[in-house]
Amino acid sequence: MNAETPVIQINDLHKAYGSLEVLKGVSLSAPRGHVTSLIGSSGSGKSTLLRCCNLLEDSQQGDVIFKGEPVKWKGTGHHRRPADAKQVLRIRTNLSMVFQQFNLWAHMSILQNVMEAPLTVLGRDRAEVEKAARGYLEKVGIGDKCDAYPAQLSGGQQQRAAIARALCMEPEALLFDEPTSALDPELEQEVVRVIKDLAGEGRTMMIVTHDMKLAADVSDHVVFLHQGLIEEQGPPETLFGAPESERLQGFLSATQAA
């Protein structure tokens, strides 16, 4: 893969749940080292698009391409599924997802949570993984919480643990699905700080967010989705500073008023 090849490329993606069409032909790319934010109102297809990138959801039509390698499919329409389980595993382990609800294992310590996937999925050396896990927990500001359990942490600390867990897989890209929406405003800022630091390091990220300030501050490219289609996209200064479409203008004034 050369430096110009996007980490993730989506071409004409369609996704429906039964007769409900959620994505109606979306194309976008996530270049290496860039932060791409997906914004739009609830039901616009943002989270579904992110989950299709990570193959957590099957799409009915269109291409998902990882580092220049297209996902192989079998079947058509609602019967379309990935054809190669090994390919899916390889892609998923290279695209670490951070969910809205943290999804930490309650019966494991924070350190064990962060170490689990590199040990079981990647089969890496335990001592090496533990060193990396402690380093990532330090990086997100909760190095002192290694032996605590998720229930003993605040929401902001749990989300930072989830980010450390994603980083410990050494992924090609990080996918964030509304990483701050389950948090109180003051805890949200802890997580925003970590995301800004990661963006500053030049990591490849795709972020679904309702936080327009976060999208404006960290993104290289912002995509505004409306009813399953890209209504407008471009650099944050253009989208937030001089939006062209009436729908985006209306969306931004509604979020500022909220």
Are 12 and 62 in contact, with CB atoms under 8 Å apart?
yes
Q: Is residue 48 part of a domain?
A: yes
What are the angstrom distances between the C-alpha of 203 and each of 124, 137, 218?
A: 22, 17, 11
What are the angstrom distances between the C-alpha of 75 and each of 9, 43, 72, 96, 199?
A: 21, 27, 10, 27, 38
Confidence (pTM):
0.93
CATH number of the domain enclosing 237: 3.40.50.300
Strands 95-98 and 173-177: parallel
Q: State the average pLDDT over residues 105-115.
A: 97
In eight-state DSSP terms, residue 78 is G
pLDDT in tens, 135-191: 999 999 999 999 999 999 999 999 999 999 999 999 999 999 999 988 888 889 999
Cβ atoms within 10 Å, residue 241: 9
| Secondary structure percentages of the chain, helix, strand, coil, to 5 | 40, 25, 35
Q: Is residue 186 part of a domain?
A: yes
Q: Is residue 146 part of a domain?
A: yes
Q: Is the pLDDT of residue 123 over 70?
A: yes
Q: What residue numbers bound the domain in which 204 lies? A: 8-70+84-257
Q: Is residue 1 part of a domain?
A: no
Q: Is the pLDDT of residue 122 over 70?
A: yes
Q: Which amino acid is it at 194?
A: V
Separation of alpha carbons 225 and 59, rounded Å = 17
DSSP output for 126-169? HHHHHHHHHHHHHHTT-GGGTTS-GGGS-HHHHHHHHHHHHHTT
Residue given tokens 């404006």 in the structure block: 216
Q: Is residue 252 part of a domain?
A: yes
If one counts the domains in the chain, the total is 1
Q: Is residue 76 part of a domain?
A: no
pLDDT in tens, 2-12: 668 999 999 99
Whole-number percent of the chain with pLDDT over 70: 98
